[in-house]
A and B are shown apart, each in its own frame.
Chain A
Amino acid sequence: MKSESLLIRVGLVIYLVLFFTYLLGPLFLMSITAFNSASFPQVTPWEVLSFEWFSVLFNDQRIISGITNSLIVGFFTVILSVTIGLAGALMLTQIWPKIRATFYTIIIAPILIPGVVLGISTLVFWDRVNVMLGFSNDSFLHNGILLTVLGQSTFIASYCMLVFVARLQRYDVGLTEAALDLGATHVQAFRKIQLPFLAPAMGSAAVLAFLASFENYNTTTFTFQKYPTLTIELAQKVRYGINPSIAALAFIIVCLTIFFALLHEVKNRRAQLAIANGAPIGAVSNGFTMPKFFTGNPAAVSLAVFVVAVVATIGISRVYDPEPAKAVLLKEKRAEQALRIEALQNRMREKRLKKLYKGPDIFGSGNSKVPQAPSKIGAGGVFNPSNLDSASPAKPETPQSPGKGTFGNVFDPGNLNNDN
């Protein structure tokens, strides 16, 4: 029994490590490629630490306009989907029980409908409306931003609805009734009582909606028309030739994500601690002292470390100049190339020499009697003169001048003398 639980424990640790490697490894590797100067996003072979891809990114007009479009679309999508999501949730709490299930199925369905289908149906529907109303082809109903907002809101509103439903389950309807009894109008009761209660849910629904809108591809790809969002631009870039500036963007997004996630965690944790200590949250928030901020809050520590690391990276990127390192690399590359060329030459030389060595076997010692003009020794002077005959045809250019032979050191006069 003991050994079994130990086995399970070890297995669990291995599994956790593997799982999180799978989860975070790709993001980590992608971020690294942003700092490699190689023009294809790669970790190996590593060239030089470089920040140039970030400036490539910031100077990319298509990325910039994509971000602008994404922000516009995101803004309107948040407003529309939070509104109708809230309305849907409120309706769900008071709808006739018999059609409640049907209603729920209809408003939850957009989450399950493939995004592609949502995009197509939005495009087709508004196109038909346009035709029916007799508008021209470039009327506002063909505006990419409007279509994208409508298409995205269809399913993002469902997410918002789920957030509101969760919150509304804890709402005491008696509060609204009390307000009404005290003479408030319905609008006042909603605005003063119910809306403040729903405010946190509205915040998280808005964040959720914005993120979903920002990263949506499937629906947007059919509706964007002349206003490609960032995701669309990225997809086109990735599909037709990739370079590390995309990795640089990814790195920035990863950093932002980690930052906000940690920030959120720190806030939660502080609220928790405050409640645990029996103090109101306000007391802790106001009395903001460093040690308290960090105690028992691993997220806060990670946040601080993370911020320091980012600031340091930015600082380094300001000071750091990859050019010298690049020059070194270039030099190294050239040297390597030179080495390779030399190696090649050596190999060729060896081949030739082998041929030369074969000489004596072919001609035998009998032919070695006749030493020819010294100039002809050029190619293979080191060797036995008997080689000369075979050597000279192989290297016809050498005879011109004895001093210019390929194998410089060979021409030591002493050599010649000795040989002869």
Chain B
Amino acid sequence: MKKGILEEYFRRNGKLMGWGLLLAVGFWVVVLIILPQISMLDFSFRNHLPPPEIGGPKDTYTLANYQYLIFGAQGNEEGYNKVDLLVFVRTLVAAAFVTILDLLLCYPIAYYLGQSKGGGYVRILVLLLIIPYWINEILRAFAFRIIFGDSGVINEFMLLFGLIDSPVDFIRANIALYAGLGYAYILLMIFPIYNVIESLDRNQIEAARDMGASWTMIHRRVVIPYAKPGISSGCTMVFMLSAGALAAPQILGGPSSLWFTQLIYQWFNQGGNWTQGSAYAVVLLVTCIIIVLSVMRLFKVNMGDIGK
């Protein structure tokens, strides 16, 4: 059976093309995607050893790296690694918050753009949407630092109009971080929703209106159910990217609040403890996958809808 398929494949593509395709896809799937992930997983279960001892008798499997995340260093009085676990939970909650914020912000404009007839005016609006996405992530975060800093534009204006007496520390309050993260992924929320709503037959909305449905009713019963694949695709992307964001928390995060990716970064670049960092990365990856899969199950969306 299998051989038949391979023969069929080579008959269709020819020897050279067939092997070329197989090689390229194989390189991508195996060498770039699967093996590195497995290798990271494997690494996360190993002891932290100096390079000469790797492969030696001490190089055994262990759960120590995961234990550290949950219980902290050995001899920890508190019983749990409260600091890291708190950072982990806070990252997920904040990422969910950013996702909801983006959804609320983007749904109306996606609906508006999707339902408008698409003249030159709308095309310019779409262009304006894309422009910020082409600007470097770091520069976008930098812009928010200029705006939300102690002597930033917002503080200066509020001081000028006497709304506040002393500068508000937006950075410490994490407002700058949420605004920056939400900003960074707006486009990834708009386009999936826009693409779906664009294909929605306007007659359906007209029909609902003729039947006397109110404005909220139309959205709740007609548009949102139809746009569900787009909405969940957008939410998935925004959630994953916010939870995995590194630049924005590094630049806009308050001094007292870390992002989980920053912990991973510290293990690698400052602690030099790769196995520990790998364990944290695996935890992040697995958690994100679980959350995304359960959201997709909940809203009955397929993997194929993602990335449209």
Contact = CB atoms under 8 A, between A and B. Distances in A.
A87 B25 contact: yes
Interface in B134-166: 134-147, 151-153, 156-157
Contact of A257 (B40, B135, B306): B135
Contacts of A20: 125, 128
Interface string A80-123: 00011011101100101000010111111111111111101111
A328 interface: no
Nearest to A45: B156
Contact of B215 (A4, A153, A154, A238): A4
B120 A247 contact: no
Contact of B236 (A24, A112, A121): A112
B225 interface: no
A131 B284 CA distance: 26
Interface residues of A, number: 97
Given A8-B215, A87-B28, A91-B21, A117 B284 contact: yes
Interface stretch (B10-18, B68-76, B199-207): B10-18
A186 interface: yes
B147 A26 contact: yes
A8 B108 CA distance: 11
Nearest to A85: B28
A253 B136 contact: yes
A242 B147 CA distance: 13
Interface string B40-79: 1001000000010011000000000000000000000000
B35 interface: yes
Contact of A107 (B28, B146, B246, B281): B28
A8, A185, A234 pick with most chain B CB within 10 angstroms: A234
B142 A238 contact: yes
A417 interface: no
A27 B244 contact: no
A250 B142 contact: yes
Nearest to A233: B138
Given A42-B146, A121-B37, A215 B307 contact: no
Interface string A159-190: 00010000000000000000000000111001
Given A106-B29, A187-B14, A257-B135, A131 B54 contact: yes
Contacts of B37: 113, 117, 121
A221 interface: yes
A235 interface: yes
Given A101-B304, A107-B28, A128-B43, A253 B250 contact: no
A200 interface: no
Given A19-B109, A131-B55, A222 B268 contact: yes
A114 B132 contact: no
B33 A110 contact: yes
B35 A185 contact: no
B240 A254 contact: no
Contacts of A15: 108-109
B120 A117 contact: no
Nearest to B240: A112
Contacts of A40: 151
B267 to A, nearest CB: 10
B247 interface: yes
B137 A238 contact: no
B247 A217 contact: yes
Contacts of B32: 84, 110, 122, 150, 153-154, 157
Contacts of A218: 244-247, 261
Contacts of A302: 124
B142 A114 contact: no
B105 interface: yes
B211 interface: no
Contact of B40 (A12, A33, A111, A125): A125
Contacts of A222: 268
A114 B127 contact: no
A296 B119 CA distance: 11
Nearest to A4: B215
5 tightest Cβ-Cβ pairs between the two chains A and B? A114-B244, A186-B14, A87-B24, A121-B36, A26-B143
Given A42-B152, A44-B153, 7 more contacts: A16-B109, A26-B144, A90-B21, A217-B246, A253-B135, A253-B139, A257-B131
26 contacts: A20-B125, A29-B147, A33-B146, A43-B146, A88-B25, A91-B25, A101-B304, A110-B33, A113-B37, A114-B284, A120-B264, A120-B268, A124-B40, A128-B39, A186-B15, A215-B134, A217-B138, A218-B244, A218-B247, A250-B135, A253-B135, A254-B135, A262-B127, A265-B127, A296-B120, A298-B120
